[in-house]
Amino acid sequence: MSTETTPFTRNWALNWVRGSIESYLRGSTPINIVKGRIKKAIESYGVKPEEIGTLISLVQIDPSLTIPRELREDRTRLLLEFIEQLKRGEKSG
């Protein structure tokens, strides 16, 4: 499905991914679900891997999330590695 993506749709996709990342950090969503949503946002909604990387970094330092720093760093590291794989065009997840 190749349709034009509106700014509203891209923004929705970014918010969807951010919520998924936060849910993963809290332990509510498995990483494979988050990876699938990230891939969908990139492939279908015009989101760039760099934008997802920025989102991950922002969530990592968000003071409103009450998640221990070490846990946050461990989990975001796995997502950042996944983003790097996507940038290189590797198959994963």
- Answer yes or no: is 93 within a domain: no
Q: Is 70 among the domain residues?
A: yes
Give the pLDDT of residue 1: 42
Does some domain include residue 34? yes
**Residue 26 domain-assigned (yes or no):** yes
DSSP the chain: ---PPPHHHHHHHHHHHHHHHHHHHHTSS-HHHHHHHHHHHHHHH---HHHHHHHHHHHHH-TT----HHHHHHHHHHHHHHHHHHHHT----
Q: Show the domain range for 46.
A: 7-88
Q: pLDDT (tens digit, 9 = 90+) per residue, 7-62?
A: 999 999 999 999 999 999 999 999 999 999 999 999 999 999 999 999 999 999 99
- Quote the number of domains for the chain: 1
Q: Does residue 2 belong to any structural domain of this protein?
A: no
Q: Convert the pLDDT of each residue in 47-91 to its tens digit.
A: 999 999 999 999 999 999 899 989 999 999 999 999 999 988 865
Q: Is position 45 within any domain?
A: yes
